[in-house]
Structure 1
């Protein structure tokens, strides 16, 4: 092993960090468009990232909260106009 080579992180942890960031971004986008799809995806990625022990726990928790907010916004607007989607 080369002593000057940078330390490598395990792939599983790097993947979990990516999932945490992806859940945050998808949850944020889901507040504006495609919340019926992006909300549950953000929830699933955030749960998977937290289960795998991500170093970005705060970002994963924000993704979890935003995913739940996506579904809440969808439910409120569906109740208002009785459709499966909503627009501005």
Structure 2
């Protein structure tokens, strides 16, 4: 059984939709862990999703914003206590 409307979407658009969701997910997780890796990954995936014409541009833009926020958090952490990761305690 197929979901209504999915047969009309091209594989490129489906890939772009997946990239938008992955960008959002990586950006969100990157706020808590591995922001050095997940932040830039979220930015690249969001840019690719927007360039390829995703049907979820809001999610891609949010992933882009979260990726940038990851890098801002990283810069703050590095300047505050000269570390590349979160430290509790």
TM-score, structure 1 normalization: 0.89
The reply to whether residue 77 of structure 1 matches residue 77 of structure 2 is yes
RMSD: 1.2
Alignment match, 1:48: 48
Deviation string, structure 1 residues 30-59 (Cα, Å, up to 9, x no partner): 000000000000000000000001000000
Alignment match, 1:26: 26
The alignment of Structure 1 onto Structure 2 pairs a total of residues equal to: 83
Alpha-carbon distance, 1:9 to partner: 1.8
Q: Look at both structures and tell me which one has the larger radius of gyration over its CA atoms.
A: 1
Alpha-carbon distance, 1:7 to partner: 2.8
Kept after mapping to 1: 8 A contact 2:24/2:62: yes
Unpaired runs of 5+ in structure 1?
A: 1-5
Question: After the TM superposition, which parts of structure 1 deviate over 6 Å for at least 4 consecutive aligned residues?
Answer: none
TM-score, structure 2 normalization: 0.88
Unpaired runs of 5+ in structure 2?
A: 1-5
